[in-house]
Structure 1
Amino acid sequence: MPKNKVNPAVGGGVGVGVGGGGGWLDSAERTGADLHLELPVGGSRRAALAEALRAAVRDGRLPSGARLPPYRSLAADLGLARNTVADAYAELVAEGWLTARQGSGTRVAERAAPPAPVRRPRPAGAAPAGPVHDLVPGQPDAGSFPRAGWLSAARRALNEAPNEAFGPGDPRGRIELRRALADYLGRARGVRTDPDRIVVSAGFGHALRLLYGGGVLTGPLAVEAYGLSFHRELLDRAGVPHVPLPIDERGADTTALARLPRVRQVLLTAAHQFPTGGPLHRERRSAAVAWARAGGGLILEDDYDGEFRYDRQPIGSLQGLDPERVVHMGSVSKSLSPALRLGWIVLPEDLVDAVLDAKGEREAWVSVPDQLTLAEFIASGGYDRHVRRMRQRYRGRRDRLTAVLAARAPHVSVSGVAAGLHAVLTLPAGTEAVAVAAARAHGVAVEPLSSFRHPAATQVARDGLVIGYATPPDHAYPAALDALCEALASVAG
């Protein structure tokens, strides 16, 4: 029996691969496609094959018009007699499952599509079944992914990649990407590093897992009073205690670190606080670095959307103030796409080996072709061009949001819009829940500001909504803003 074939007499699924002569579909004749057939144990082989083919047609694995292999080829692959396959084909032709024409071979017959499910009309005034307009923060415009530029970079990168790039590799990540990142981060974000101190990750969450889940660092950890609950949950799963730092218009109050004697690490979104939106004031940046130097502390910097600024000069990284006391982490989730799962950790020299040990087996490493493509995309200038283009587009989105709200919802104040991909709408006290319910009723998905609040935070809570203005496609954005304003009318005054 040929290698990797399953004898149907033994039962179980039978994988059929046909390449070279014969084939399943016209394209499959060139590629050697497989079809999985479930042939039960025992009984008539002809009946079993016929039923397996019926099932493949019913569930869509063999669509209308699909060409079946000649019965001699299928008989050889399945270890059946030719007459058995020929009889099964004839039975299915007679039943109308297959057609057989001279010169065209045996194909799946055209079959009527199953009836569409009956949709009951929604009662007048009822809320939509799901959100029509997505204004949840944290996502870029998926339709703006630079497909042509990424494809060109991928072709160049793969054509020029050495053969060893497709071997086991380096747990740090590909040297081409680490070199490109060292250059880009130094030029655009003020990071001071070299390729040997960069470890490629699958994003910020993966970086945090390596540092804490991998045992490189232990808590307790100071975090901002408003931030992503996902990060807090990740720390909880790793058994890391975390305590909140108050947030105001100057960002996190890093002077409070001196009053937390057990804390030796702090996590900050210094360039653009998430979600409240302001940058960390220069005095508080200096205070954080001084605290780390004085007590052997460590600053974890989440640079999640540092490229997107509109009304201010670029704010450099905290890492540039002290590379040995700051771990700088970033990704392309906001600038390109969260689907790429590509990020980086810029480490103090004494943490590199520990992080590499925590990274462990190759299954946790990022795809090498994606790393090579990003390296080429950065080195060729494609990444810079894309960021500049999206900066202009998102600025236009931001401007439209603020103009529409000023005209139609003047009772709502807008903040945190000098940079980034989201805005905070401050609501009248006690109206947040009403606003969220009204948004849902108008088909708008939004996030309440309270959902980002640390459960142990003691500062006075604010009522508000966090609006992601980058998420909707261009054609849907005006309707999303219109629905949002209609919802906000319910909390006027």
Structure 2
Amino acid sequence: MSGTLGGIGRAVRSNLVADSQTNSAPRASSAWATLLDVEPRDLARRPLHDRLTRALRAAIRDGRLPAGAAVPPSRALAEEFDCSRWVVTEAYAQLVAEGYLAARVGSATRVSWSPETTPARRRAMPRPAQPPVRYDLAPGLPDLRAFPRRRWTEAVHSVTGSAAQYDLGPPDPAGHPALRRTLAEYLRRSRGADAQPGSVVVCAGITDGLFRICRALRAEGVAEVAVEEPGWGRLRDAVASAGLRISPVPVDRDGVRVAELARAGGARAVVVGAAHQFPTGAMLSPDRRAELVRWARTVDGYVVEDDYDAEFRYDRRPIAVMQGLDPRRVFLVGSVSKTLSPALGLGWTVAPPALLPVIRAANAVAAPPPVLDQLALATFIDRGWYDTHLRAARRRFRTRRDLLVRELAARVPDGQVAGTAAGLHILLHLPAGTDTAAVVAGAAAAGLRLADLDAYRAERSGSPALVLGYGNITDAEIPPAVGLLRAALDG
């Protein structure tokens, strides 16, 4: 055992023998020959008993002193450290009180704690190896390789150096005014929204925005919200977590079936993907857009428009949001998760002006994203970098989607591709009787990540289909990925 006294920092291994202890233990259990790293006094400025306590605690926590091992008698350790016995007994008493040591009359003081028994150690225990993901055809991610690192770094650097003193204070719960102005202008010119800075609320993403809206709707007396079936599960979770009932409404090739929504009766709000519904890829038809607005007016209700990956349209210009049809009845939620990266945690809600006070009151403790990140996004958009990034992304994703569709036609001719030529995913319908769960599992074992349409259904029944994403995969990886899909289908 080594000691460091008087700041000289010498290390001395104990010459004590395990068999001299009270109630001898096997030599393998002895802690007497363990090296202790006691801080020098001139560096630590702590009393010796505190430094010894820390050294023993560290030796126990990192496993050098295993559970059941006996520590030296206090007199012996005091002699080795050339200190009073009180120093050692004080250290031992502290560790007994903390649960690291156990002292019994007539027996040696022993280590009573093991890292093997802690939750942190259990989490670190080896788990069965998972096959590495070689190819990712699951939906939900943009091309993370193409994240504009240099431009984003420039934006962050610029706002960090130029931010005013008041920008570094408590943030505005609705978001920084600069970003709200920028988003309002961007949404007006690029998405056809009826947006003003005062109607924009900055949030952490679409799910966060929907949760805030649902809290406000509940405060307004809304008890039930309709959601698309099939649909994104996290949107259903957000509605439920706000304390509202969920009413699934089916989707067909023209989007949500408004007639069935009207027959359902109880809902006074509905969440829809108008430009590119997830996961079916349907676009809400013009007739149904108008019909949905009429429904909201009839029931004195609201529409929440999820602008999911709507910036990416490949057969025509991106279609405008339906929020502009009636900004008093339609909320608009969006984010940069599918255009830049979900790691940024930046999104927005455009709310009917009459409900803005209710949204803020219903979410008084909700914190906006970090101010410097908000200012960086405002700079990124104002300097034209966001538009440049989106133009390049559209070209890249259009080429990639076309390649995926061609490979599927050649390798999976019994499948049928569905969905608008837009966004970051397609729907692949498979022959009746296909066990899609087995296909997904078999593909995963080969290193291919897929998504089953059943994962997005409230009731897992319906024609078999896969939701294939092409955002987070390279063009060169698509042919071998489809080859693995074919092998999984052949089973």
TM-score normalised to the size of structure 1? 0.72
What's the counterpart of residue 424 of structure 2?
A: 421
How far is 1:161 from its partner? Answer: 2.4
CA distance in 2, matches of 1:390, 1:345: 24
How far is 1:392 from its partner? Answer: 1.1
What's the counterpart of residue 180 of structure 1?
A: 182
Q: Alignment partner for residue 167 of structure 2, among 165, 184, 188?
A: 165
Deviations along 1:248-278, whole A, 9 cap, x unmatched? 1111111223213322111100000110001
Instruction: Label 1:121 to 1:475 Cα distance change in 2 as closer, same or farther (>3 A).
Output: farther
How far is 1:219 from its partner? Answer: 2.5
AA at the equivalent of 2:413: P
Instruction: Label 1:411 to 1:58 Cα distance change in 2 as closer, same or farther (>3 A).
Output: same
What's the counterpart of residue 193 of structure 1?
A: 195
Say whether the 8 Å CA contact 1:300–1:327 is kept in structure 2: yes
What SS does the corresponding residue of 1:139 show, helix, strand or coil? coil
Alignment of 1:13-52 (within 5 A): none
What SS does the corresponding residue of 1:140 show, helix, strand or coil? coil
What's the counterpart of residue 288 of structure 2?
A: 284
1:235 correspondence with 2:239: yes
Instruction: Label 1:43 to 1:423 Cα distance change in 2 as closer, same or farther (>3 A).
Output: same
How far is 1:157 from its partner? Answer: 2.4
Say whether the 8 Å CA contact 1:142–1:473 is kept in structure 2: no
What's the counterpart of residue 405 of structure 1?
A: 408
1:318 correspondence with 2:318: no
What's the counterpart of residue 454 of structure 1?
A: 458
Say whether the 8 Å CA contact 1:204–1:331 is kept in structure 2: yes
AA at the equivalent of 2:483: D
AA at the equivalent of 1:420: G
What's the counterpart of residue 255 of structure 2?
A: 251
How far is 1:414 from its partner? Answer: 1.1
Instruction: Label 1:359 to 1:238 Cα distance change in 2 as closer, same or farther (>3 A).
Output: closer
Instruction: Label 1:50 to 1:189 Cα distance change in 2 as closer, same or farther (>3 A).
Output: same
What's the counterpart of residue 464 of structure 1?
A: 465
Unpaired runs of 5+ residues, structure 1, are: 1-38, 60-118, 123-127
CA distance in 2, matches of 1:56, 1:383: 50
1:350 correspondence with 2:354: yes
Instruction: Label 1:45 to 1:299 Cα distance change in 2 as closer, same or farther (>3 A).
Output: closer
Alignment of 1:193-212 (within 5 A): 193-212=195-214
Unpaired runs of 5+ residues, structure 2, are: 1-43, 65-125
AA at the equivalent of 1:383: Y
How far is 1:145 from its partner? Answer: 1.0
Instruction: Label 1:46 to 1:373 Cα distance change in 2 as closer, same or farther (>3 A).
Output: closer
1:392 correspondence with 2:395: yes
Instruction: Label 1:55 to 1:480 Cα distance change in 2 as closer, same or farther (>3 A).
Output: farther
What's the counterpart of residue 39 of structure 2?
A: none
Say whether the 8 Å CA contact 1:141–1:472 is kept in structure 2: yes
CA distance in 1, matches of 2:215, 2:131: 38
Bigger radius of gyration among the two: 2
AA at the equivalent of 1:282: P
CA distance in 2, matches of 1:292, 1:440: 43
How far is 1:182 from its partner? Answer: 0.6
Alignment of 1:63-212 (within 5 A): 129-212=131-214
What's the counterpart of residue 443 of structure 1?
A: 447
CA distance in 2, matches of 1:349, 1:46: 62
1:375 correspondence with 2:378: yes
How far is 1:55 from its partner? Answer: 9.5
Say whether the 8 Å CA contact 2:210–2:333 is kept in structure 1: no
Instruction: Label 1:45 to 1:194 Cα distance change in 2 as closer, same or farther (>3 A).
Output: closer
AA at the equivalent of 1:211: I
Tell me the matched-pair count.
Answer: 385
What SS does the corresponding residue of 1:262 show, helix, strand or coil? coil
Deviations along 1:51-74, whole A, 9 cap, x unmatched? 789899999xxxxxxxxxxxxxxx
Instruction: Label 1:468 to 1:45 Cα distance change in 2 as closer, same or farther (>3 A).
Output: same
What SS does the corresponding residue of 1:364 show, helix, strand or coil? coil
What SS does the corresponding residue of 2:331 show, helix, strand or coil? strand
Instruction: Label 1:300 to 1:120 Cα distance change in 2 as closer, same or farther (>3 A).
Output: closer
What's the counterpart of residue 72 of structure 1?
A: none
What's the counterpart of residue 62 of structure 1?
A: none
What SS does the corresponding residue of 1:221 show, helix, strand or coil? strand
Say whether the 8 Å CA contact 1:210–1:216 is kept in structure 2: no
Deviations along 1:199-232, whole A, 9 cap, x unmatched? 0011111112212246445321111111012222
What SS does the corresponding residue of 1:242 show, helix, strand or coil? strand
How far is 1:43 from its partner? Answer: 6.2
Deviations along 1:362-410, whole A, 9 cap, x unmatched? x622100000000010111000011111111111211111111111111
CA distance in 2, matches of 1:412, 1:159: 54
TM-score normalised to the size of structure 2? 0.72
What SS does the corresponding residue of 1:305 show, helix, strand or coil? coil
Deviations along 1:408-443, whole A, 9 cap, x unmatched? 111111112500001111001121233223322322
What SS does the corresponding residue of 1:467 show, helix, strand or coil? strand
Instruction: Label 1:473 to 1:45 Cα distance change in 2 as closer, same or farther (>3 A).
Output: farther
CA-atom RMSD, angstroms?
A: 2.9
How far is 1:474 from its partner? Answer: 5.5
Deviations along 1:113-161, whole A, 9 cap, x unmatched? xxxxxx9999xxxxx6354322221111222111111111222223332
